[in-house]
Amino acid sequence: MAMDHVFIRQEMVEARQPPRGTDGPIAWLRRSLFASPSDALLTILGLLFLLWAIPPIYNFLIGHAVMPGGTVEECRAEGAGACWAYIYARFNFFIYGFYPIDQYWRPNIVFIMGAALIIPLLIPSAPFKRINALLFFVVFPVVTFYLLNGGVFGMRHVPTEQWGGLLVTLIISLVGIICSIPIGILLALGRQSKLPIIKTLSVMFIELWRAVPLITVLFMASIMLPLFMPTGTTVDKLLRALVGVTLFSSAYLAETVRGGLQALPRGQYEAGASLGLGYWKRTYFIILPQALKHVIPGIVNNFIALFKDTSLVSIVGIFDLLNTVQSASSDINWSSPTQAVTGYVFAAAVFWIFCFAMSRYSLWMERRLDTGHKR
C-alpha cells in the first residue's frame, strides 16, 4: 500500500536565481578590500597613504615638471618639478660619457649589433641558436672591442678613459656575464669534484670572494693588480674593474650552478658512466645541460645583481651611468633645486627597466621550463 503514495512532479522546477554577490565589481570589492573589519581598516589606511603619497610624486614627475625643450629658468622657478629638459640636454653624456661626439656611430653600431644578437637568443623558438650564441658570446665581444677602441681599419683610437655612461655599464655587465659563466661552471664542477686539492682550491676561491664586499674587491683590483704584474706593465683602469667584477661574479655563479648540479639525480651520473663516457663527455653532454636548465632563473638573478653592482665601479673612478649622472649634477649651466633628484630618477628608471625586464624574463623562463618536469 505504500505503493499508492507515489509522487511524481508534473511541472519543471523553476530555475533559481544564481547566488547573488559572488561575481561582479561589488563582490570583488567585498572579497578583496572589505572582507573583514580589519581588512576594511587596512584598506582605509592604504587609501589614505596613497592619497598622501601619489599627488606630490605625480606633480614632481609630470604635473609641475619641465619637459624637454624647457629652459634652465623654468627649472629654477619656485615649485618646479623634475627638470626633464636637463636630462634631454645631457642625454648623450649619460649614454656615451666622454666618447668623441663625431665617433658616436661606433657605440651605436655596438648597441644595434648587441640588440640584434641578443633578442633572437632570448626567444626560445628562434632558429640558429648555436651560431647565434657563438656570434654573441665570442665574435661580438671581439668586434666590440676593436670597434670602440679603434686603432684598426683607420678608426681613431679612443682610450677607455673616454668611454662612459650607459655604454660602460653595459660593457662591464656583458663582459662580467660572458666571462663569469665558464669560470663559474668550472668552479662549481671543481667544488663537486672528488679530487681533494681541486675541491679545496675551488671552495677557498668561492668562499673568499663571496665573503668580501664588491667594493673591497674593486679596491683590490685597482690597487693590487698593478702590483701583481711584472714591473713596468700598466693595466687599463677599465680592465682592472672588469677583472674584479668577473672574479666576484663567477664565485656567486658557481654557487648557483652547484645548486643545479646537486639537484640532478645520481642516476644521471651513473647512467653516463655506464655508457662508458669519460668525465668531460659525461659532464658536457649529460650533466651540464640538465643542471644549467634547472638554474637558469638563478643565473638570471645573478646577472641582475651583477648589473646593479656595476654601479660600484664609479667608486674607483670609472664613468659608468651612475657616475656620469652624479658628475653632471654639479653642472652649473643646469643648476637648479631639482637637478640632482631628476638625474637620480632618470638613472634609477634606466636601471629599473633593465633589471625588471630581466627578472620578468627569468620568471617567464621558470614557468616555461617548469612544464618539462610536470608528470
Partner 1 sequence: MAVQDNIGSSAPRTSLLNDPVVRGILYQIIVGGLVVAFFYWIIVNTAQNLAAQNKTTGFDFLFRTAGFDISFTLFPWSRTSFYWQAFLAGLLNTLLVAVIGIFFATLLGFALGIARLSSNWLIARVATVYIETIRNIPLLLQLFFWYFAVLKAMPAVRASFELPLEIFINQRGLMVPRPMPDAEFTWVLVAIVLSLIAAIAVGIWATRVRTATGRYPPRVVQAAKIADAVVSFLVAALAFSLLAQYVPALANASPLIWAAAVIVAAASLSRFAPYARAIVAFALTFVILATLLRAMFPVWHTAAIDIGAAIAGVVMGWILLEGTRNRPPSEGRFPIALLILIAAGIPALVYIVTGAQLAFEVPVLERFNFKGGVQLPPELVALVFGLTVYTAAFIAENVRGGIRSVNKGQTEAAQSLGLKEGDRLRLVIVPQAMRVIVPPLTSQYLNLTKNSSLGAAIGYPELVNVFTGTTLNQTGKAIEVIALTMAVYLTFSLLTSAFMNWYNGRVAMVER
> For residues 86 and 68, what is the distance between their CA atoms, to the nearest angstrom?
7
CA 202-284-303 angle, 5° bins: 60
**351 interacts with partner 1 by CB under 8 A:** yes
Cell of 318: 670609472
Residues 320-339 as x/- pattern, contact with partner 1 by CB under 8 A: --x---x--x-------x--
Which is closer to partner 1, CB of 137 or CB of 269?
269
**363 interacts with partner 1 by CB under 8 A:** no
Q: Are 100 and 158 in contact (CB under 8 A)?
A: yes
Q: Provide the minimum distance between the beta carbon of 374 and partner 1 in the complex, in angstroms, as a whole number.
A: 19
Which is closer to partner 1, CB of 64 or CB of 308?
308
Residue 35, CB half-sphere, CA atoms under 13 Å: how many? 6
Beta bridge partners of 83: 66
Segment contacting partner 1 (CB under 8 A): 29-37, 142-150, 264-272, 280-288? 29-37
Which is closer to partner 1, CB of 106 or CB of 320?
320
Residue 159's nearest CA partner among 237, 242, 240, 243 is 237
Interface with partner 1 in residues 62-121 (CB under 8 A): none
Backbone torsions φ then ψ of 83, nearest 5 degrees:
-100, 75
Interface with partner 1 in residues 145-184 (CB under 8 A): none
> Which letter, b or e, does each residue of 212-228 get, where b requires 16 or more Cβ atoms within 10 Å of its Cβ?
eebeebbebbbeebeee
Which is closer to partner 1, CB of 46 or CB of 69?
46
Binding site for partner 1 (CB under 8 A): 32-33, 35-50, 52, 194-198, 201, 207-208, 210-213, 215-216, 219-220, 223-224, 226-231, 304, 308-309, 311-312, 314-315, 322, 326, 329, 337, 340-341, 344, 347-348, 351-352, 355-356, 359
